[in-house]
């Protein structure tokens, strides 16, 4: 059973003083999700964030920031258009639309170039391609002429293909139960003190949202062998050595053959090659005040 695990992502940061997104009178987040051809499964909230677990990935809504990730054959750009029709362009501090290359692009409702054309009707963004277009790559549409990231504005994405079959096995059992899944995988123990909201799909697959104050992390797993894929993302503020430790911890769960890492930071110093992997391609670009690091790794 083929399923496209590779994801599309939008992140929008609005200027301070704008209408808070969590209770915005002109935005129904369930409607926004439906425009992307997804549905809301459940929600977990704290004082700073509403985390929506979706039928195809996740949505995180803060007071002035929104992050939405979708997989499968979703039309995330349609949801973004709905947001941009609501926001005043002058209120947008930063916008980033990201799309990972798909295994089956012919099944998608649009490609990256079409999505970028649609977004340019709202904001005059630019495109940066990370990686090689005949290999694993990420295309990023970005806008933020006045963006000055804070020291806490960090995001790590770990995109994993061809995950180990033994590691994938727990996520292929719809009746496994969450306690057994946690014990066998440790997906709920990446960080301490996070409120967890997750879903085991039938017949297979798994998604998790975790939040703690302003920080989140999320997993999405497509375990079937013909299209095996797992992703991890977090905006956790890493201390010295914690980024590499987290990357290695995630890779130890899935043991993928191919890994793409993308890291946004105000002043990024680099990422050490994960244990047991070799670097294939790596690059660094700067836009909208961010250093963006990209690397492809292959299991040694």
Residues in the chain, pLDDT under 50: none
Distance CA 85, CA 144 (A): 17
Is residue 2 in some structural domain?
A: no
Is residue 162 in some structural domain?
A: yes
Domain CATH code at residue 58: 3.60.90.10
DSSP sequence for the chain: -------EEEEEEEPTTSPPGGG-TT--HHHHHHHTT--EEEEEE-SS-EEEEETTEEEEE-SSEEEEEE-TT--HHHHHHHHHHHS-GGGEEEEEEEEEPPS-GGGSS--HHHHHHHHTTTS--EEEEEE-TTSSEEEEEEE-TT----TT--EEEEEEES--HHHHGGGG-TTS-HHHHHHHH-GGGSSSS-EEEEEE-SSS-EEEEEEETTEEEEEEEE--GGG-EEEEEE-----TTHHHHHHHHHHHHH--SEEEEEEEETT----PPPTTEEEEEEEEEEETTEEEEEEEEEE-
The reply to whether the predicted model has a pTM over 0.85 is yes
Is residue 1 in some structural domain?
A: no
Sheet holding 40-45, edge to edge: 40-45, 50-54, 57-61, 65-70, 8-14, 92-100, 137-143, 126-131
For residue range 244-268, what is the model confidence (pLDDT) as tens digits? 999 999 999 999 999 999 999 998 8
Give the pLDDT score at 169: 97
Instruction: Identify the domain containing residue 179 by its residue range.
Output: 8-299
Give the pLDDT score at 7: 97
Give the pLDDT score at 270: 83
Is residue 46 in some structural domain?
A: yes
For residue range 5-62, what is the model confidence (pLDDT) as tens digits? 999 999 999 999 999 999 999 999 999 999 999 999 999 999 999 999 999 999 999 9
Is residue 3 in some structural domain?
A: no
Give the pLDDT score at 132: 87
Supply angle C-alpha 203, 71, 210, rounded to 5. 80
Is residue 148 in some structural domain?
A: yes
Is residue 119 in some structural domain?
A: yes
- Round the average pLDDT of the chain to a whole number and report it: 96
Give the pLDDT score at 134: 82
Overall number of domains in the chain: 1
In sequence order, which residues have a C-beta less than 8 Å from that of residue 86 and are 6 or more positions away?
A: 24, 26, 27
Tokens of 168: 């994938």
Is residue 222 in some structural domain?
A: yes
């Amino acid at each position: 059973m083929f399923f496209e695990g590779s994801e599309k992502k939008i992140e929008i940061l609005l200027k301070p003083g704008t209408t808070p997104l969590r209770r915005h009178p002109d935005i129904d987040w369930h409607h926004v999700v439906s425009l992307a051809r997804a549905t809301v499964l459940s929600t977990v909230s704290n004082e700073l964030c509403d985390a929506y677990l979706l039928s195809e990935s996740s949505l995180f809504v803060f007071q002035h920031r929104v992050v939405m990730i979708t997989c499968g054959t979703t039309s995330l750009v349609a949801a973004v258009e709905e947001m941009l029709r609501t926001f005043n362009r002058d209120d947008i501090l930063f916008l980033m639309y990201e799309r990972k290359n798909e295994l089956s692009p012919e099944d998608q409702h649009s490609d990256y170039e079409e999505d970028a054309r649609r977004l340019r009707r709202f904001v005059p963004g630019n495109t940066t391609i990370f990686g090689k277009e005949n290999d694993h790559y990420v295309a990023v549409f970005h806008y933020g002429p006045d963006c000055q990231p804070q020291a806490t504005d960090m995001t790590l994405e770990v995109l994993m293909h061809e995950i180990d079959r033994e590691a994938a096995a727990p996520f292929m059992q719809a009746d496994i139960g969450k306690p057994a899944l946690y014990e066998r995988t440790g997906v709920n123990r990446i960080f301490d003190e996070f409120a967890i909201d997750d879903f085991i799909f039938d017949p297979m697959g798994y998604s998790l949202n975790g939040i703690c104050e302003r920080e989140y992390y999320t997993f999405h797993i497509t375990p079937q062998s013909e299209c095996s894929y797992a992703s991890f993302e977090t905006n956790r503020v890493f201390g010295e050595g914690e980024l590499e430790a987290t990357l290695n911890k995630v890779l130890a769960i899935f043991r993928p053959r191919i890994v793409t890492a993308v890291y946004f930071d105000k002043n990024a110093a680099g990422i050490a090659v994960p244990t047991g992997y070799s670097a294939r391609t790596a690059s660094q670009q700067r836009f909208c005040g961010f250093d963006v690091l990209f690397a492809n790794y292959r299991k040694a």
